Chains A and B, each alone.
Chain A
Amino acid sequence: DGGITQSPKYLFRKEGQNVTLSCEQNLNHDAMYWYRQDPGQGLRLIYYSQIVNDFQKGDIAEGYSVSREKKESFPLTVTSAQKNPTAFYLCASSIDGGANQPQHFGDGTRLSIL
């Protein structure tokens, strides 16, 4: 089945540590996105990529970094500069990033601070 796979499902970070969240898709989609979800709030965009080897900052990019070396992969690194990283992180993709194209979501990674 085609879809988006996020791993791990749960992740714990120590103070001063960088952690990387994995996102892989086999939908052959060009565009990929990372969102952050906090309790009682909607999702906010961290980074997005519309094509391999290119990505753009979203609304809350500070303290995060990404790479897009392969079409199917868009990993997110939460750096030690992100002072409040506890949240639910969702990866999404769409066929070409067009306005009418829906985004397909993974099942998320829940990140907590130890």
Chain B
Amino acid sequence: GDSVTQMEGPVTLSEEAFLTINCTYTATGYPSLFWYVQYPGEGLQLLLKATKADDKGSNKGFEATYRKETTSFHLEKGSVQVSDSAVYFCALSDQRFGNKLVFGAGTILRVKS
């Protein structure tokens, strides 16, 4: 079945450092890809999405590009802030089950001041 693999965390960075969180996927067909962010004790918030190959999603300084040839959707940010500390989930939509989201395990990001 479809699956998503994320780099294990926690990832610890200093403020203003460059961030990359790797995400690769396995899917039949051409899924849409998403990054969600979860702050402590809260639900998930959509960070960005891409719906077809070579699409770049971006929001709040975060970017990710849908790479069909490498089945990847890596999240990047040029300069992280302490407020970016959260858990980041990569996900794809699975058309076979009402377009349910298939999630990676999540990557904890900690940013130190």
**Contact surface of A with B, Cβ cutoff 8 Å:** 4, 6, 31, 33, 35, 40-45, 48, 50, 56, 58, 90, 92, 94, 97-108
Closest to B3 in A: A42
A-B contact count (CB 8 A): 72
Q: Are A107 and B103 in contact (CB under 8 A)?
A: no
Q: Is B79 part of the binding interface, using a Cβ–Cβ cutoff of 8 Å?
A: no
Q: Scoring B residues 43 to 87 as 1 if CB is less than 8 Å from chain A, else 0, what string do you get?
A: 111100101000000000000000000000000000000000000
Q: Are B44 and A100 in contact (CB under 8 A)?
A: no
**Contact surface of B with A, Cβ cutoff 8 Å:** 4, 31-32, 34, 36, 41-46, 49, 51, 89, 91, 93, 95, 97-106
Distance (whole angstroms) from the CB of B10 to the closest CB of chain A: 11
In the assembled complex, the Cα of A101 lies from the Cα of B51 at a distance in Å of 9
Name which of A41, A101, A105, A107 has the most chain B CB atoms within 10 A of its CB.
A105
Q: Are A48 and B98 in contact (CB under 8 A)?
A: yes
Known: A41-B105, A99-B31, A100-B32. A105 touches B100 (CB 8 A): no
Closest to A46 in B: B100
Q: Are A108 and B97 in contact (CB under 8 A)?
A: no
Q: Are A108 and B98 in contact (CB under 8 A)?
A: no
Which residues of chain B are within 8 angstroms of A42 by Cβ–Cβ distance?
A: 4, 89, 91, 102-106
In the assembled complex, the Cα of A106 lies from the Cα of B36 at a distance in Å of 13
Which residues of chain A are within 8 angstroms of B46 by Cβ–Cβ distance?
A: 102-104
A6-B43, A103-B101 known, 19 other contacts, Cβ within 8 Å: A4-B43, A31-B98, A35-B101, A40-B106, A43-B44, A43-B89, A48-B98, A50-B98, A58-B97, A90-B44, A94-B99, A97-B98, A98-B99, A99-B51, A99-B99, A103-B46, A105-B36, A108-B41, A108-B43
